[in-house]
Amino acid sequence: MRQVAPGSGRKIDDMSAESAKPVSRQERKQRTRQALLDAALAQLADHPFAVLSLREVTKQADIVPTAFYRHFVSMDELGLVLLGESMAVLHRMLEAARDSGTEFDEVAHNVVRTLHEYTRAHEAHFRFLTRERHGGAGAVPQAARTELRMFAGDLAVDLARFDCLRRWRTDDLRMLADMIVTMLLSTAVELIETAPRSAESDEQILGVAENRLKLIARGAEHWG
C-alpha cells in the first residue's frame, strides 16, 4: 500500500480550498480589464491604434462591447494605459543599462545587449510604441511623442555623467539623447521585423547597432 507522507493530505486539502475560493468582484473586474489590454495589444501587432476596433478588442477579450465602458471611458484611454505600460518597459530598460560603466565602447555594448533583452521580452510594447510615435495627430500618438521626449530628457541627464559631456549645454545633451533614442527604437524595429529570425541575424543587427552607437559617441567627443 502506498504510504502518504505526514501532512500531505492537509496540504492537498489546503490547495483544493484555495482553488475553490471564490473570486471577488474586484478581482474579476481587474482580470477583464487586463484581458481588454492584452486583446488590444495583440490587435496592434498588425494595425495602428487609429484603426483599432472596439468590437474586435471586446470579441477577443470575450466580453460584450457595452461592457468595455465599465473599464475604460474610451478607446483613447485604453491606448494611453498601453502607452504607460510601454514607457514603463523603456524606463526599466534605461535603469538596467544605467550602470554600464563610463567607457563609451563598454557602454555601447551593454546598452545594445540590454535593448535586445528587453525587445525580445516585450515585442508587442515596442511595436506599439514605435508605430504610435509616427501615428499622426490622435491623442495616443501625441502622448507617445511627449513621453519619448521626456524619456530622452532622462537620458540626457545620464549622459552628463561622461567627462567629455559635462560641459555641454542642456540643448546639446537633449539633441544627443534624441539621436540615441531614435537609433535604439530603430534597432528594436529591426529585431522585431527581421525574418527569418535566428541568433545569427540578431547578432548582425546588434553589431550594426553597437557600431552606430559608437559612431554617435565618437562624434560627441569632438562636438563643439
How crowded is residue 51: how many other Cβ atoms within 10 Å of its Cβ? 10
Q: Residue 20 — very low, low, confident or very high, per pLDDT cuts 50/70/90?
A: low
pLDDT at 137 over 90: no
pLDDT tens, 71-85? 999 999 999 999 999
pLDDT tens, 104-134? 788 889 999 999 999 999 999 999 999 999 9
pLDDT at 4 over 70: no
Helix (H, G, I), strand (E, B) or coil at 200: helix
Cα–Cα nearest to 127, from 189, 81, 77, 40:
189
How crowded is residue 137: how many other Cβ atoms within 10 Å of its Cβ? 7
The pLDDT of residue 10: 45
Across all residues in the chain, what is the average pLDDT?
A: 88
DSSP string for 140-183: HHHHHHHHHHHHHHHHHHHHTTSGGGTTS-HHHHHHHHHHHHHH
Mean pLDDT of 30-56: 94
Q: Residue 100 — very low, low, confident or very high, per pLDDT cuts 50/70/90?
A: low
pLDDT at 18 over 60: no
Q: How far is CA 148 from CA 118, 140, 177, 202, in A?
A: 17, 12, 10, 25
The pLDDT of residue 116: 97
Q: What is the pTM of this model?
A: 0.83
Domains along the chain with CATH numbers: 11-72 (1.10.10.60), 74-224 (1.10.357.10)
**Which H helix or E strand runs over 112?**
helix 104-121
Lowest mean pLDDT among 18-32, 49-63, 173-187: 18-32
Q: Residue 17 — very low, low, confident or very high, per pLDDT cuts 50/70/90?
A: very low
pLDDT at 14 over 50: no
The pLDDT of residue 222: 80
The pLDDT of residue 184: 96
pLDDT at 214 over 60: yes
Mean pLDDT of 25-53: 93
The whole-angstrom separation of Cα 153 and Cα 40 is: 29
DSSP string for 43-67: HTTTS-GGG--HHHHHHHHTS-GGG
* Number of Cα atoms under 13 Å in the Cβ half of residue 144: 26
DSSP 8-state code for residue 54: H
Could you identify the residue written with the cell 541575424?
Answer: 201
* Number of Cα atoms under 13 Å in the Cβ half of residue 79: 26
pLDDT at 47 over 90: no
The whole-angstrom separation of Cα 205 and Cα 195 is: 12
The pLDDT of residue 102: 63
